[in-house]
Amino acid sequence: MPVSDFQMVEAWTKVLKLSRLEPRQNVTILTSSATHPQTLATALIATQSMGAVVNRLDLPPVNGEKALSRDSLAYLGTTPLTGNRAAIAALKESDLVLDLMTLLFSPEQLDILKTGTKILLAVEPPEVLTRLVPTEADRERVLAARARIARAKEMRIVSGAGTDFRCPLGEFEPIAEYGYVDEPGRWDHWPSGFALTFPNEGGAHGRIVIDRGDILLPQKCYVNAPIALTVEQGFATRIEGAIDAQLLSEYMASFNDPEAYAISHIGWGLQPRAHWSTLGLYDREATIGMDARAFEGNFLFSLGPNNEAGGKRTTTCHIDIPLRHCDVYLDGEAVVRNGVVLDR
């Protein structure tokens, strides 16, 4: 059901207050051809009503001829900022960038953040944004999970479907995504609500079974038959199963890049207002699937790049896969049991 402009302005105002937007600060709203018009219009109203100096930077889309999907995460690498010195300069001079375009996994984004500019990504439909407005309680819960990851040397994931997967930790700092940017140089995504990290390079190993009802992104589909991944020295070396496995394997092979098969981020969902079932209620082009990534108790792992965490892998292929009904252990202590988070 659509939401009103009033509801969206109210939602933006809450998020901007949590992000510590102050009068006279410079805000740049980054847009492209796929930006939702209601999200943009209400962001302009909310930022100006809070006394910010507001600019809009609209950039043409890129990579459309290379991607196999219209999803903004279907092909990474170059962005509209690549080689665009004027646009980069404008964003570096901003106190806050509202990314309504999608800059993920780009070196330009990392350079902008280093200047102290805050970047908030918001590309889900307005009704998803208003349902998943972040709270201070979300932040506290996600930060607590991040702290637990930071103390651990290993994450192990097991499931009744056959997953038994181990990841040594410590090489990369854990990351907290709670939906707003309250510190200089912070990036976050509204909506979100999960803690994650990246396994030590080349260390992840074991077996991952993507069971019926688990989700593939950016395919934005529920798996109908199990897919088994064999992971050795940090890479998925075999993808086995029926038609779903074949579809995943063919999609990944189309990038012609061995680094596409590397284990990327790992973590678990902490957002009780996100739902596993929501993906089935949307047209595939209407959402990037943040409910699926954030719903409480999932084990979310990905394949592809790790440059967001300071690593060297910048492959253009990125697959996010949230699994249900997993046990997640940190140094042998359960933090998720059969899809239930053990922090209450």
Q: For 190-247, how does the pLDDT look when each residue is reduced to its tens digit (9 = 90+)?
A: 999 999 999 999 999 999 999 999 999 999 999 999 999 999 999 999 999 999 999 9
**Which of 89, 114, 131 corresponds to the end of one domain?**
131
Token pair belonging to 170: 């410590």
The span from the CA of 286 to the CA of 272, in Å, is 22
In this structure, are residues 190 and 139 in contact, taking their beta carbons and an 8 Å threshold?
no
Q: Where is the domain boundary, 131, 157, 182?
A: 131
Q: Give pLDDT, residue 104.
A: 80
Give me the number of domains the chain comprises: 2
Among 131, 150, 183, the domain boundary falls at 131
Q: Are residues 124 and 140 in the same domain?
A: no
Instruction: Identify the pLDDT of residue 200.
Output: 96
Q: pLDDT class for 71, splitting at 50, 70, 90?
A: confident
Instruction: Report the sign of the C-alpha dihedral through residues 291, 297, 298, 300, in that order.
Output: positive
Q: Are 59 and 84 in contact (CB under 8 A)?
A: yes
- DSSP helix/strand/coil, 248: helix
Q: What angle do CA 138, 292, 78 make, to 5 degrees?
A: 95
Regarding whether 173 and 98 lie in a shared domain, the answer is no
Residues 88, 159, single domain; the answer is: no
Clarify whether residues 292 and 210 are in a common domain.
yes
Residues 223 and 321 in one domain: yes
Q: Which residues pair with 295 in a beta bridge?
A: 271
Residue 25 gets which letter from DSSP? Answer: -
Give yes or no: residues 117 and 153 share one domain.
no
- Give the model's pLDDT for residue 16: 98
pLDDT-derived band at 337 (thresholds 50, 70, 90) equals very high
For residues 328 and 334, the answer to whether their CB atoms sit within 8 Å is yes
Helix (H) or strand (E) holding 263: strand 263-269
| Residue 320: pLDDT over 80 | yes
| Of 37-41, 283-287, 325-329, minimum mean pLDDT range | 283-287
Helix segments in the chain, DSSP class H? 5-18, 37-49, 85-92, 107-114, 126-131, 136-151, 243-253, 290-294
79-126 tens-digit pLDDT: 889 999 999 999 999 999 999 999 887 889 999 999 999 999 999 999
Cα dihedral value 216, 127, 281, 248, nearest 10: -10
More confident residue, 18 or 313: 18
Contact 267, 247 (CB under 8 A): no
Q: Identify the pLDDT of residue 100.
A: 97
Distance separating alpha carbons of residues 48 and 13, to the nearest angstrom: 10
SS3 151: helix
| pLDDT value of position 307 | 81
pLDDT in tens, 234-283: 999 999 999 999 999 999 999 999 999 999 999 999 999 999 999 999 98
Q: What is the pLDDT of residue 1?
A: 78
- The string of pLDDT tens digits covering residues 294-309 is 999 999 999 998 887 8
What would the pLDDT profile of 149-181 be if each residue is shown by its tens digit?
999 999 999 999 999 999 999 999 999 999 999
Whether 53 and 186 share a structural domain: no
- Indicate the average pLDDT of the chain: 95
Question: What pLDDT is attached to residue 314?
Answer: 85
CATH number at residue 30: 3.40.50.2300
Asked whether residue 125 falls in the same domain as residue 272, the answer is no
Whole domain around residue 212: which residue ranges? Answer: 136-341
Residues facing 173 on adjacent strands: none
* Residues sharing a CB contact under 8 Å with residue 137, sequence separation 6 or more, in sequence order: none
Q: What is the pTM of this model?
A: 0.95
Same domain, 150 and 39: no
Q: Which of 128, 156, 105 is nearest to 307 (CA)?
A: 105
- 123 and 187, same domain (yes or no): no
Place of tokens 């070196």: 107
- Average pLDDT (49-70) is 88
**Do residue 304 and residue 242 come from a single domain?**
yes
Do 314 and 329 lie in one domain? The reply is yes
